[in-house]
Amino acid sequence: MKNKFSTMILMLGLTVGGLFTSATFATTRNGVTCGLFDSIDEPGAIHWPVNGNLYYCGNTPSSDAAGVSVVWNAAQGATQRVVGSQVVPFLRQTFTATGVEVYVFNTVGDFQKYFGYTFTPPPLASIADIAGFTAKPGQIASHPGPFTAIFQHSPSIDSNPKRLLLIAQTTNHEMGHEMDRAYLYPSGALAPKVSASRNYLSAVNLDITHVNQLTCLQVFSGTGLTASVIKSVCATNATNWTRMRSLWPYDTTADEFFANVFAADSPGGAVNEALATIIGNDFTHTVEYERGLRTGTGKP
């Protein structure tokens, strides 16, 4: 599936001549201009975010149109599930109703200028690692509504030959954060103010129990990790979940793991492909829980 998705986004990068940003609906703040992204007549909630909720922020929209194209395609793919032959765009309807916006910036610096916000890297991460951001309620004073930002020229992706795929995977991840926000943070991201969902914790704990009953090689083989990394990980006297947390301390925190599960189950997958493989193989209860949320058929 990933190879097909990679081919699709590379084709998109070559066929985006009809996509553009509108100067009519543009706002400039501190030297950074964000223009509304205009699609070819895509009204209605099913077409979120190109139905008036996607903004491109930068000085060279024509050369970077491929990045914008990938972002909205990834966002649309990430927020649908297929039940039988029916596409269920539940989250896209939800995001339209609640006014979730997507901003595509060149860099974190442009984002900080536009929103007048000093970006502090989250614990265990750095500015260079950050390719996306999803605001929590009240986090950005100048923009209280829900929104996601993608930094398409962040150092962590800009020189990578798979940069278009990384932009799509980053978008998948941020849409996971948006779903978390839409359901008032079942991940526990706002704990202790808002407790994690019992249903979510039950699903995760069932999967952790399962993972810990497997051998180390059963969990980490086939993930793309090098043999030396797997040997080092398996040499530790620890449970497999502890080994996962040791390998990926940031990606396994409460809200980040929630978003990684969402991305792993989306077209194109997650940036952390090794973790996504383990999620797909062994976190079946957690994946099913989130599928319920993204289709509106489950209980938070």
β-strand partners of 55? 36, 103
β-strand partners of 82? 87
pLDDT at position 38 is 67
Cα 6 from chain centroid (whole Å): 17
Pull the structure tokens for residue 269.
């997958």
Distances in whole angstroms, Cα of residue 106 to Cα of each of 6, 16, 65, 147, 264: 21, 18, 12, 16, 25
Burial zone of 280 (CB within 10 Å; 0-12 exposed, 13-18 middle, 19+ buried): middle
Write down the pTM of the prediction. 0.91
Contact 91, 136 (CB under 8 A): no
Contact 114, 105 (CB under 8 A): yes
β-strand partners of 102? 54, 148
pLDDT at position 280 is 98
Buried b (16+ CB within 10 A) or exposed e, 10-26: eebeeebeebbbeeeee
Pull the structure tokens for residue 268.
């194109």
Residue corresponding to tokens 């265990």? 124
| pLDDT in 10s for each residue of the chain, 300 residues | 444 444 444 444 433 334 455 555 789 999 999 988 865 556 788 888 888 898 989 765 554 566 667 787 778 788 888 777 778 889 999 999 999 999 999 889 999 999 999 888 777 777 778 899 999 999 999 999 999 999 988 888 888 888 888 999 999 999 999 999 999 999 999 999 999 999 999 999 999 999 999 999 999 999 999 999 999 999 999 999 999 999 999 999 999 999 999 999 998 899 999 999 999 999 999 999 999 999 999 999
Number of neighbours of residue 287 by Cβ within 10 angstroms: 18
31 — phi, psi (to 5°)?
Answer: 85, 0
> How far apart are alpha carbons 230 and 233 in whole angstroms?
5
> How far apart are alpha carbons 279 and 260 in whole angstroms?
8
The DSSP result for the chain, as a single string, is -HHHHHHHHHHHHHS-TT-EEEEEEEEEETTEEEEEEE-SS--SGGGTTTTT-EEEESS-TTTTHHHHHHHHHHHHHHT-EEETTEEE-HHHHHHHHTT-EEEEES-HHHHHHHHT-PPPPPTT--GGG--EEEPPTTS-TT--S-EEEEETT-HHHHT-TTHHHHHHHHHHHHHHHHHHHHTT-TT-TTTTTSPPPHHHHHHHHHHHHHHHHS-HHHHHTTSS--HHHHHHHHTSSS-HHHHHHHH-TTTTSHHHHHHHHHHHTSTT--SSHHHHHHHHHH-HHHHHHHHHHHHT-S--
49 preceded by a cis bond (ω within 30 of 0): yes
Cα 214 from chain centroid (whole Å): 28
pLDDT at position 36 is 86
